[in-house]
Structure 1
Amino acid sequence: MFELLDGDALRSAGEASVVSAIAEAARAEAAAGARRLAAIAELVRRRADGPVDRAYWSCDNWDAIAAEVAAAQSISHPMASGQMYLAVALRDRLPKVAALFAAGTISLRLASAMLWHTDLIKDPDTLRLVDEALARDATRFGPLSVSKTAQAIEAIVDRHDPGALRRSRAAARARHVTISPADSDAGTAALWGSLYATDAAALDSRLAQMAQQVCEDDPRTLDQRRADALGALAAGSEHLACGCGNAGCGAGVDPRAAAVVVHVVADASALDARPDPHTSGERKSRPITPEMTLAEALAPDPEPHLTGGGTLPASMVAELIRDGAKVQPLQHPADAPAEPGYRPSAQLERFIRCRDMTCRFPGCDRPAEFADIDHTIAYPLGPTHASNLKCLCRKHHLLKTFWPGWRDEQRPDGTIVWTSPIGRKYITRPGSRLLFPTLCLPTGELPSAPSTQPVSAQRGVMMPQRRRTRQQDRARRIDAERALNAGRIAERNQPPPF
């Protein structure tokens, strides 16, 4: 049915056939996802027996496999690692559930939920019984909500192994604060999380107090002042600057100004932009007059927009710098000669980070701010030069340095050509290529040099070490989770009172 309803046939089909195509496509999507995970599990199986001494390496054999899985799908390292665990667990722990997933009977979400809620089961016979029960009842779980699905799975686990219930994770242990990546078009980011009630009350009280410190002429709403107060706290300030703009206002200096450095990576005219008055206060519609055309009357209110001045709208850059934030120009090195020594100068390092924006390993989006500066051709064979430097997060820096197989070649425009241990090639380009293309102008050809250097047999002693192997850590976490359930199980097993 799904193959038949394609293109014109889909548009001319009845609604019942269209809905059937949706259901068939969902099954095909689940089956395709199962095949992908099966391939990942097979790759893990083939490479699981890595060098024993590297099990204690910070970047261990699992990380080496995850790097290839991530590069093949252009996804992040943590996401690839999660897929590997899911793939191996489906194959080894819940084979009957895996068979349903491969047939497209259940979704990836449901298969993942089953694995999560059975992760603490240690006894193989118990796990087999749970796998059979889950496979038998799986078709009933699909239409349920996420919470009801979890309750149904937990009921099966509780019947066979109550010590493996995930409910022991109290809400306090799930506290977190998450900040989403900034929206480059709006210059804002989402924040959510869960705190101790006492901490939440203290934060709420502090934000309310800071929001009331400004004068009556401040144009911002209470919610906007509370949001800005949180930014002021993050910058180490005890008060919120007033936004009234009055010369005589004593609270008019923004304490965040000293904590912000703006790197000019494109048109410097963005520094001359004016703050956007529409970012504060209540949203107001423009009055419609008889002289307006229909297009003018229906046009949206002006919003901040991305200009050539950076990843923030120029009006928001103006908000940051109007109170004296430090502005430091960024210069393209052009054909500058190589620098002496291993560490690049501060100016060259700023250029590399602004050009690359993220880690340059395939699929990795770790911000350049938190990445290492890596010599593509290792120093001293390779010079400290923009055409030989790039950003790599610590994980991928260790992978390239200590694990054999990965090779990288850098071009003068910042393009990196990676070759995986099996010979697949991946090309990554600087993150500034679309936003600030002038940063990707060639920085000069380097004299030919060997792309590799002999690896010492003792080089591994420089790799940071783990206190416990990945398997030992996992076993400790499982035992700790099960121990949290011991008291509840003992209480439940007490005989009724006389």
Structure 2
Amino acid sequence: MFDTAALEETDEVSRMLADAPDWPPLDEVFDALVAAGRPAPSGWLALELDLASADPGELDDAELVDAVADLDRIASWAAARQSRLLAEFARRRPADPRDVAAQGPGAVSRWAPDEIALALSVSRLAAGQRLAQARRLTEALPATLDAHEAGRIDATKVRAICDATQHLPDDRAARVQDRVLPAAERQSRAQLVAALRRAVIAVDPDGANDRHAKARLDRRVVVGAETEGMASLWALLAAPDALAAHQWLTRLARGLGSEDPRGIDARRADLLVDLLTGRVTSRAAATDADATTDADTGSAAAAPLRPVDPGKPLVQVVVPHSTLVGADEQPCDLVGYGPIPSDLARQIAADAVWKRLVTDPLSGALLDHGRTTYRPPAALTDFVRARDVHCRSPLCRRRALDSELDHTVPFPLGPTAAHNLTDGCPLHHREKHSPGWSVVQQPDGRLTWTTPTGHRYTSDPFDYRPEPDLPPRPPRQARPAPVPRRQVDLDWTSRGDPHDPPPF
């Protein structure tokens, strides 16, 4: 791919070689880059790609994909270099004592953001955020910055790591970083965010429980104005409550039957309005056999609304056995949502509307099922969805609850069993069967996807094993016995001033 002859003909490179006679020949430089496999992002690689991609029509499909990926890595390399320069600039602009007292350690001169903002034509706020992130990367998250400079992760992933660890002290932030970086290169940003949420809970379980308890106090319902005569009704709820409410709306919507012309989203929206405004919800198109007679008017009324699977648990929560019994504080998983703190998982594990799945800490897997019929039974469907968590396309985050079960080896050549079933969203289900695409399921649960250009990508199974190297769990303190109301009154009046407000 490297055309050194063409490169040496350029005036700019000729001047560079004349100014630096000790440089090795260009062909040796490029050979060294290629010898290591995929060239590391650098100015040399940018120069080569500039020449090689000048006429995209001369590249085949695989070379186009490789060039696109290499240019993305160069962009990451350049952004990381900029972060190092910004961090050095911030160190050269220390804050005066008053700014340090107001902003805390790591503060810079109040005018430093203005210098960067003018140079980059961005807002003062944006410049300040860049300076703060650059210092955070160089001082607390150096491995993240190294991965960025090597082109293994892009700017969106770097920002995700910084955001997820901003409330943690440097030592715990570094532990989170070390957990997620090995897989971050192969993940989408959404997958990395999910891994970060789990790692933060594992590294700081007590803090995660405290933050959830604090966040739960902020639950609310808000109405927002939209365009075209529409409005949004938005609710901030605890994750189990929100997921259960959505699942119940979905069951009611599906219970309306296939004859209902509305889409599933419109059905859910209309049912939500009916339920919250006290209207009688009924089937939109009831048959004569389902119709009932209104006692007051004598007219036929629609049959009552019936959800599909009314007795089935609304939500599954996956809890390691050691966490369920209180021996440790492992992250737990709300199927269809993601990691949740251990205290929340223990609170909901015994609730009647939840299905509890306890995992084996050694294998990190659930039990298997086997079938010889085409359509999987409900128990096998639930198992596969809890096992896969998401669509098994390498980068897709569509929930398995909203996906379709697919035979990797088509039935009847392949059995209807867990080792031959995966979850795929409708888009990637169709993609799998498109010309040039293929998927192979490995014995360990990994899926190998091959694209029409011959590039291969791996989808790893969800791993329920406990997080390693958890901090020791402090012993739980016994809750104090409740104080009788009469004793509270006596204690309050005996404090001194009877005009002070009571402590409740």
TM-score normalised to structure 1 length:
0.35
TM-score normalised to structure 2 length:
0.34
Higher strand share: 2
